[in-house]
């Protein structure tokens, strides 16, 4: 594309859907191979160990459902860069629009001189997030920044300070979002003091609920509501922040009834319900947003990860009456809604809607869940199989107990990696294997990935 070509429009031509790279697993060296190991030595001398990598193969190329490394190995991607490349890595439509934009302008700062693509992204978010009410959106750079802005706005709009979060929650690594996050190691340890006025409540975790999964939703909601009243006082609470399915916490699907009961409690008490859909958003769970599953309509939604195919972008979308309260200039950031990222987001939204990727996500769940349940029947180490759409996990325990087994989890993940299947772990106890394939992954690769996982248990 030359700079003379007209910029692709929002409903631009669909580039060829043929994958650029063969959609296949191909191992030509051990994992990681010699070239990756060399690069890893350089990295160790240049980058602090605080920044980890799940699998230190150094990537040179990626497309659709595969990641290719510096040694020429082609790996099956069950991670999507942590639920980011939902539309496939290097999605052609995303790439084309980013390239075209890069030839025009790369930055003006929306707070200095605005541009249409930012507005179009916000219009789309206002349209596709849950609820038919009037909404406003603005754009930032990361999930943490989106969540943090949601809390700022909620405090402003309510004139209250307290923020309620939940066990196993993950919301980011900034001071406030690290405080909102439940897990000490690695996210919080030694990084205090934390931000004030954050209160943590029990989560409806069906697998580990003492009186069983059937009672979990209503009981957990009643406990949380009771504790909020006793410990904080509902009239002091600005917002409740919750992931509709816990991400880093281990893909915990709150038991049915939990989210609606909390949303109802918020509505009755002037508390704003902030859904952190950073990991669950953009078709990942089989709905455009995970809140839709139980018809929950949040006051504010934080989005990021899947929004722009890997370009750094995040958003806060909320009820117009809340969002419009904040004084002029109170919200923003230098890079927020960068034009390259906005073009990518517009391409992603077209891909999701035209490609019916919510249906693709459901299909992935329909393939994965039954296979994993059969595996669980034969493997007493698998305590729980859960998730929705293309956000699926298994929780590993010592057979006959619910005692977490993080060592086995790490071992299985390593075996998968050695066989060319990129999987991630998660969970408060580090005992969850989570699967987040790109929604466009060919079914053959998905099945092969499941075969490799099965073999990792028996090997």
* Pick 188 or 379: Cβ nearer ligand PLP: 188
| CA 420-425-431 angle, 5° bins | 125
Q: Report, in Å, the least distance between residue 79 CB and ligand PLP.
A: 13
Q: Report, in Å, the least distance between residue 316 CB and ligand PLP.
A: 12
DSSP 335-365: STT-HHHHHHHHHHHHHHHHTTHHHHHHHHH
Among the listed ranges 114-122, 185-193, 271-279, 373-381, the one in contact with ligand PLP (CB under 6 A) is: 271-279
Is residue 136 close enough to count as binding ligand PLP by CB under 6 A? no
- State in Å, rounded, how far the first CA of the chain is from the last one: 49
Q: Report, in Å, the least distance between residue 42 CB and ligand PLP.
A: 25
Quick note: the x/- pattern for ligand PLP over 71-90, rule CB under 6 A, is --------------------
Among the listed ranges 11-19, 167-175, 197-205, 358-366, the one in contact with ligand PLP (CB under 6 A) is: 167-175
Is residue 142 close enough to count as binding ligand PLP by CB under 6 A? yes
Torsion of CA 142, 144, 146, 148, to 10 degrees: -150
* Pick 74 or 141: Cβ nearer ligand PLP: 141
Asked whether the beta carbons of 223 and 176 are under 8 A apart, the reply is: no
Among the listed ranges 42-50, 211-219, 266-274, 276-284, the one in contact with ligand PLP (CB under 6 A) is: 276-284
Among the listed ranges 212-220, 243-251, 359-367, 407-415, the one in contact with ligand PLP (CB under 6 A) is: 243-251
Q: Report, in Å, the least distance between residue 291 CB and ligand PLP.
A: 13
Q: Report, in Å, the least distance between residue 202 CB and ligand PLP.
A: 18
Q: Report, in Å, the least distance between residue 428 CB and ligand PLP.
A: 14
Among the listed ranges 232-240, 242-250, 383-391, 434-442, the one in contact with ligand PLP (CB under 6 A) is: 242-250
156 CB neighbour count, 10 Å cutoff? 17
Extended beta strands in 167-294, E state: 198-201, 237-242, 272-276
* Pick 172 or 250: Cβ nearer ligand PLP: 172
Q: Beta 272-276 vs 237-242: how paired, if at all?
A: parallel
Report CA torsion sign: 438, 444, 446, 448.
negative
Among the listed ranges 2-10, 50-58, 136-144, 350-358, the one in contact with ligand PLP (CB under 6 A) is: 136-144
6 CB neighbour count, 10 Å cutoff? 8
Q: Measure CA 97 to chain center.
A: 23
DSSP 292-342: GGGT---SEEEE-GGGGTTSS-EEEEEEHHHHTTSPTTSS--SSTT-HHHH
* Pick 125 or 147: Cβ nearer ligand PLP: 147
Cα separation, 114 vs 134, in Å, equals 22
Question: Which position among 232, 272, 288, 304 is part of the footprint of ligand PLP (CB under 6 A)?
Answer: 304
Among the listed ranges 14-22, 128-136, 241-249, 387-395, the one in contact with ligand PLP (CB under 6 A) is: 241-249
Q: Report, in Å, the least distance between residue 256 CB and ligand PLP.
A: 20
| DSSP letter, residue 40 | H
Question: Which position among 252, 259, 275, 278 is part of the footprint of ligand PLP (CB under 6 A)?
Answer: 278
132 burial type by CB count under 10 A (0-12 exposed, 13-18 middle, 19+ buried)? exposed
SS3 392: strand
Q: Report, in Å, the least distance between residue 106 CB and ligand PLP.
A: 21
* Pick 130 or 143: Cβ nearer ligand PLP: 143
Question: Which position among 86, 279, 285, 303 is part of the footprint of ligand PLP (CB under 6 A)?
Answer: 279
Question: Which position among 125, 144, 178, 368 is part of the footprint of ligand PLP (CB under 6 A)?
Answer: 144
* Helix orientation angle between 213-227 and 258-269, rounded to the nearest 10 degrees: 20
**Sheet containing 74-77, strands listed edge to edge, beginning at the edge strand earlier in sequence:** 59-63, 66-69, 74-77, 421-422
Q: Report, in Å, the least distance between residue 76 CB and ligand PLP.
A: 22
Cα separation, 278 vs 334, in Å, equals 21
Question: Which position among 78, 118, 170, 251 is part of the footprint of ligand PLP (CB under 6 A)?
Answer: 170
SS3 92: helix
Closest residue to ligand PLP, based on beta-carbon distance: 143
* Helix orientation angle between 406-418 and 443-458, rounded to the nearest 10 degrees: 130
Q: Report, in Å, the least distance between residue 243 CB and ligand PLP.
A: 5
Question: Which position among 32, 79, 88, 172 is part of the footprint of ligand PLP (CB under 6 A)?
Answer: 172
Is residue 147 close enough to count as binding ligand PLP by CB under 6 A? yes
Query: What residues contact residue 168 under an 8 Å CB cut-off, 6+ apart?
Result: 182, 183, 203, 205, 246, 249, 250, 252, 428
Q: Which residues bind ligand PLP (CB under 6 A)?
A: 142-144, 147, 170-172, 243, 247-248, 276, 278-279, 304-305
């Amino acid at each position: 594309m030359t700079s003379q070509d007209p910029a692709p429009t929002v409903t631009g031509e669909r580039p060829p859907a043929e994958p650029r790279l063969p959609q296949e697993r191909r191992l030509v060296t051990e994992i990681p191979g010699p070239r990756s190991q060399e690069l890893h030595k350089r990295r160790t001398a240049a980058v602090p160990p605080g920044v980890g990598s799940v699998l230190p193969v150094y990537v040179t190329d990626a497309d659709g459902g595969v990641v290719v490394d510096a040694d020429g190995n082609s790996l099956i991607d069950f991670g999507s860069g942590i639920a980011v490349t939902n539309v496939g890595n290097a999605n052609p439509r995303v790439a084309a629009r980013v390239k075209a934009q890069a030839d025009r302008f790369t930055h003006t700062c929306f707070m200095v001189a605005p541009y249409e693509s930012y507005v179009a992204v916000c219009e789309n978010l206002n349209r596709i997030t849950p609820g038919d009410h009037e909404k406003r959106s603005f754009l930032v750079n990361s999930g943490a920044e989106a969540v943090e802005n949601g809390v700022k706005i909620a405090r402003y709009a309510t004139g209250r300070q307290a923020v309620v979060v939940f066990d196993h929650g993950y919301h980011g690594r900034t001071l406030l979002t690290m405080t909102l996050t439940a897990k000490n190691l690695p996210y919080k340890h030694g990084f205090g003091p934390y931000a004030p006025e954050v209160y943590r409540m029990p989560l409806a975790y069906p697998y580990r609920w003492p009186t069983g999964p059937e009672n979990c939703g209503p009981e957990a909601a009643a406990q949380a509501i009771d504790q909020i009243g006793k410990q904080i006082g509902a009239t002091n609470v600005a917002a409740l922040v919750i992931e509709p399915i816990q991400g880093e916490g281990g893909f915990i699907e709150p038991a049915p009834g939990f989210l609606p009961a909390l949303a109802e409690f918020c509505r009755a008490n002037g508390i704003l319900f902030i859904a952190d859909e950073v990991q669950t958003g953009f078709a990942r769970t089989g709905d455009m947003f995970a809140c839709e599953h139980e018809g929950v309509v949040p006051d504010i939604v934080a989005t990021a990860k899947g929004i722009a195919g890997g370009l750094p972008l995040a958003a806060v979308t909320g009820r117009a009456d809340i969002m419009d309260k904040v004084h002029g200039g109170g919200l923003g950031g230098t890079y927020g809604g960068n034009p390259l990222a906005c073009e990518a987001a517009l391409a992603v939204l077209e891909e999701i809607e035209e490609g019916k990727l919510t249906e693709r996500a459901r299909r992935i769940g329909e393939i994965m869940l039954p296979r994993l349940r059969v595996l669980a029947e034969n493997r007493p180490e698998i305590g729980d199989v859960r998730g929705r759409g293309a956000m699926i996990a298994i929780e590993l325990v010592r057979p006959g107990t619910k005692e977490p087994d993080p060592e086995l989890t790490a071992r299985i993940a390593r075996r998968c990696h050695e066989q060319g299947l990129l999987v991630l772990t998660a969970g408060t106890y580090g005992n969850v294997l989570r699967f987040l394939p790109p929604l466009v992954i060919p079914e053959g690769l998905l099945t092969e990935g499941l075969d490799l996982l099965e073999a990792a248990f028996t090997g």
